[in-house]
Structure 1
Amino acid sequence: MSQSPSSQSIMPPKLYLLTNDDEFGLLYQKLEAALSTNLIGLLQIRRKQIVSLPNGDAMLYEEAKQIVELANIYEVPVVINDDIELAVKLGVGVHLGQTDGKISDALQVLAPSQIIGRTCHGDIELIKKAKKNGASYAAMGAVFASTTKPNANIVSREQLIEGCQQGIPICVIGGLTAENISELADIPIALVAVVDDIMGLPVDKVAERCYEWQQALSK
């Protein structure tokens, strides 16, 4: 039974954690701290600096294998950033930028249960296309300026509202913190993607920040 928009809007968004470029041992500790709170709804493996190394693909595979094993313990679904082939190898989902592969290709090779995300920025036509092509969610951003993408175009409140009216779960990303997320309180967003506001912290602060996020999202 599908939810009506009103019942959907009272569902708090899920916290969607993205990895950063920390040294792997440190990254793993932070992920363990975050996942053990049972507050993470989705995890994306995005390791831009590793991928750019000469043996980056092999390194990423070894890292991702360990991260997926950890996520499985806490029953958190995983998506790989921009790499359908690696997603297939690991048996996880994928998040695709506009130039990083077709949704149709991912659908052909991934298990039906796997999540396929699509970057749509603030473009409503891209959101409609992502829905039509079978994506699980469309990502809109940047919502605020962020340290990871300081030059990204900012998406307006009107664009976010319109995006949420397209019949596909919307993920917001870009400069989001547990404090500024309240500005989006009345928009029926499905996923809130966070990198720096959790992964930028020392290991011993990660769990506490996840709980602060849970409080913010439940409002």
Structure 2
Amino acid sequence: MVQSVKPNPQGGITVTCDNKEEHFDKVIFTSPLNVLTKVADSSLFESSKPKTPVEYLGVICLVLITKSSLTPYYVLNIADKEIPFTGVIGMSSLVDLDQTGDEHLTYFPKYVSANDSYWKKSDEELKSLFLEGVSKLYPDFDTNDIVSAHLHKAFKVQPLQVLNYSEIIPDVQTKHKDFYVLNTSQFVNDTLNNNSVVNHVEKFVNEFKTESNLQ
């Protein structure tokens, strides 16, 4: 876990992680803004005070590794209360099987608010609940085809873009030439799907290359 990020007197940035200091020429900070204000030295950035805190959605995700494909699609969005997850992500429709040992990789994420009751459930409860949902959504799927099942959680994944969202996000400016900030809370008037995020990252990388060449 990152404990602090601070400028190095000799140039670059020093990051303390799990009580171990490491030096980097440049650092791109991608965590939520509340983490930035907690771990990054104030000399690295300045931020306007938000009118209200940016609310984030977390995600609980079942990952199945199977012998055969569950879905021919990359993304299937679900809005059915009987299904405990909000999407099916068929990674094997995007990633070649030679990259996954000829096994199929499928994600079943559920995006939830910070006070959702799902956070109170144990991993085993969630795994059982999600597997029931998989069987309901794909009744012909043989569970013996499952190689392994894994449950992952992340408390803050995606900012909730509420009404007048552009008015509440803090304005963040970096004050050090080797420190950059890029996170999804800065994406205004845009969706937060994978394609959009990749486009923002590519734009940032191109600007970063240009700036680095100028320096």
Structure 1 length as normaliser, TM-score?
0.24
Structure having the higher strand fraction is: 2
**Higher relative contact order by CA 8 Å / sep ≥ 6: 1 or 2?**
2
More helix by share: 1
Mark the structure with the bigger radius of gyration.
2
Structure 2 length-normalised TM:
0.25
